[in-house]
Structure 1
Amino acid sequence: MTTPFDGIAPLPHLGVIRAEGEDAVKFLHGQLTHDFALLDLQHARLAAFLSAKGRMQASFIGFKRSPTEVLLVCSRDLLAPTLKRMSMFVMRAKARLSDASEEFLLYGLAGSAIEKVAGSAIQASAKADLGNISVVGLVPAGAVPRALWIAPAGTPAPEGSLLPDTLWTWGEVQSGVATLTAPLVDAFVPQMLNYESVDGVSFKKGCYPGQEIVARSQFRGAIKRRAFIVHADVSLQVGAEVFNASEPEQACGIVAQAAPAPGGGWDAIVVLQLAAAESGALHADSAEGPALRLGSLPYALKDDL
């Protein structure tokens, strides 16, 4: 069934880091939150790059183009500092990291556009290769399927109705999976953005920077903040603080991603203290600011793994 959120959208806000070489997969496996050693050519990974203190520096959709080449799609505003920091750890590994953003085209596919392009539906984290084109399934926006289309520069754009940028961004919010951007570097451990609940963290792989912090948070019940979807009647900005009316002096959360809603107002992914989310009475910017109404995530939170 066709929905208003159905078509294709260019994604200029995203960039591409390429890792290539004999040790590229091994290197990424030791740096990111997910298992790249077991990644095959038919799937993709959501993953994060962390500081030694377990705080997110960047988030990625990563997949193999070949056994020795991996592409990491991330927010373009974080690409340069992330590439610089990750390159510091390559050392003697037979791996090369580079900014490949100008070498690829990126489009988002929503609704029936996925089947038109790929020939069939694609589940989240699955990957279909159509010659040099890769289509990666993303977490749906509510009930609407989404996918990432990536192809070498010069490839004709995928067929489909062009979606406004704001509508694709709204779909990202509705998926409940925030992409880390520059204002939020060092703000979250992965669980605060629910990454362990959407297969963005592996607790079975070996060490990576920040791994001890992430594991301790998970297995000692130290997760006190989670990501939620909210709606407001006014615009919301990434990095804006969220307050609870019962504790007006101290912020209880922060806006992680936001977009105008097709029906009016704005929707956002916000990271909230669990107690504040349960009590309600949430407001943006101050305890007397615009009211925030909690919505529903399109996936279940995993408390036990």
Structure 2
Amino acid sequence: MNTPLATASGNPSATASGAVPATPGGAPSGQSATALPVLPRPSADEFAAVLEHGAYMALTQFGVIDATGDDAASFLHGQLTNDTQHLDAANARLAGYCSAKGRLLASFLTWRSGDTIRLLVSKDVQAAVQKRLSMFVLRAKAKLVDASGELAVIGLAGDVRKALSGVFDALPDGVHVKVDGAAGSLIRVPDAFERLRYLWIGPKAQIEAHLPQLREKLKQVSPAVWDWLDIRAGEPRITQPVVEQFVPQMVNFDVLGAVNFRKGCYPGQEVVARSQYRGTIKRRTSLANVAGELDTVQAGAELFHSDDPGQPCGMVVNAASARDGGVDLLVETKLAALESGSVHLGAAEGPALRFLALPYGLPTEV
């Protein structure tokens, strides 16, 4: 699959203004948005390449927003759920961007590249989120630009350290640790199936120059494999179908370090803090598998419990084709729905979910 490298280009047709409330599971009302394409099921060889050897993939499902200017860090600090004011050059951080009601509009991986703070975001929400953030810059010395056209985003998974050592002088030794080199930034992200994973983001020309060398050692596979690995790592991603559906704790962002409860105010902060300290988190995200394919099993689909078929008990957060068949899911549900009975996709008589163990523990809710 040695196809030309694609950039994580922004979505020019997703022109929704963040100032317009989003309709449940859809585009902001009165606006249009282009969904991410449904990626074909990867071949068995592509799954095997990651688990048995090492592979890389061009992650066209992401875009990159660059925040520049003297006030970029402080501006983002007042908008996102995590601390960007003290973000150093050696680390990356997960963060969310919430509405005033504490519901997630987007999720980011954030890091510094020189004086720039970069935000990796799902491509289908990038334009709306960038526009909304820009509305609040006001007098701050900060500017948000779409850097997707100049940058490429590569995911690497499996036995990839030898291949990467030919590009970077040093490799990150811990999750969300970052190193920089002439070819861009390399960030280690959470393992999946106990396999190492890295994100490599850099100038398109620089990355393309290294591709022949990379292909000698690693197989290029579909970006759909990365979506699957993210799900198996238990790391939710906010895409357009689930905009404004979840408070951060509902998608385990507090457990994943995407929320700093000691930082100052940001949109929705009171709702997020109240949920944390009053013990009102009654919904969480779990890992599951269900029969089907991605043309019918998609983010935003509602879930129903066998004991209460009349109303939804949860929602699919992310979905990806699974190695062993069916679709692997991250699903947000009422905690009570996991105690007995069964959970089904689309309707109480729909396909039953088979729940799997997350690779991390969740706090005991009171």
Runs of 5+ consecutive residues of structure 1 not aligned to the other structure: none
Greater Cα offset, 138-147 or 247-256: 138-147
- Structure 2 residue identity aligned to 1:81: A
- Structure 1 residue identity aligned to 2:140: A
Structure 2 equivalent of residue 10 of structure 1: 58
Contact 2:65 2:148 in 1 (8 A): yes
- Of the three residues 313, 322, 328, the one matched with 1:261 is 322
Structure 2 equivalent of residue 83 of structure 1: 130
* 1:6 shift after superposition: 2.9
- Of the three residues 255, 258, 271, the one matched with 1:197 is 255
- Structure 2 residue identity aligned to 1:172: D
Closer, same or farther: CA 230–92 of 1 in aligned 2, 3 Å: same
Are positions 1:287 and 2:348 aligned together? yes
* Partner secondary structure for residue 222 of structure 1: coil
Structure 2 equivalent of residue 127 of structure 1: 178
Greater Cα offset, 165-174 or 84-93: 165-174
2: distance between equivalents of 1:191 and 1:5?
Answer: 35
Are positions 1:174 and 2:232 aligned together? yes
* Partner secondary structure for residue 197 of structure 1: coil
Greater Cα offset, 200-209 or 125-134: 125-134
TM-score normalised per structure 2: 0.80
2: distance between equivalents of 1:82 and 1:114?
Answer: 34
* 1:120 shift after superposition: 4.0
**Structure 1 residues 87-110: Cα deviation after superposition (integer angstroms, max 9, x where no partner):** 011001111111111010001111
Contact 1:140 1:298 in 2 (8 A): no
Closer, same or farther: CA 5–94 of 1 in aligned 2, 3 Å: farther
TM-score normalised per structure 1: 0.95
What aligned pairs does 1:228-243 form with structure 2 within 5 A after superposition?
228-235=286-293, 236-243=297-304
* 1:302 shift after superposition: 3.6
2: distance between equivalents of 1:2 and 1:189?
Answer: 33
- Percent identity, please: 43
* 1:148 shift after superposition: 1.0
Are positions 1:274 and 2:335 aligned together? yes
Runs of 5+ consecutive residues of structure 2 not aligned to the other structure: 1-48
- Structure 1 residue identity aligned to 2:326: G
* 1:124 shift after superposition: 1.5
Are positions 1:32 and 2:80 aligned together? yes
Structure 2 equivalent of residue 104 of structure 1: 151
* Partner secondary structure for residue 309 of structure 2: coil
- Structure 2 residue identity aligned to 1:287: A
Greater Cα offset, 230-239 or 8-17: 230-239
Measured on the aligned residues, the alpha-carbon RMSD in Å equals 1.7
Contact 1:5 1:144 in 2 (8 A): no
Greater Cα offset, 136-145 or 203-212: 136-145
* 1:44 shift after superposition: 0.4
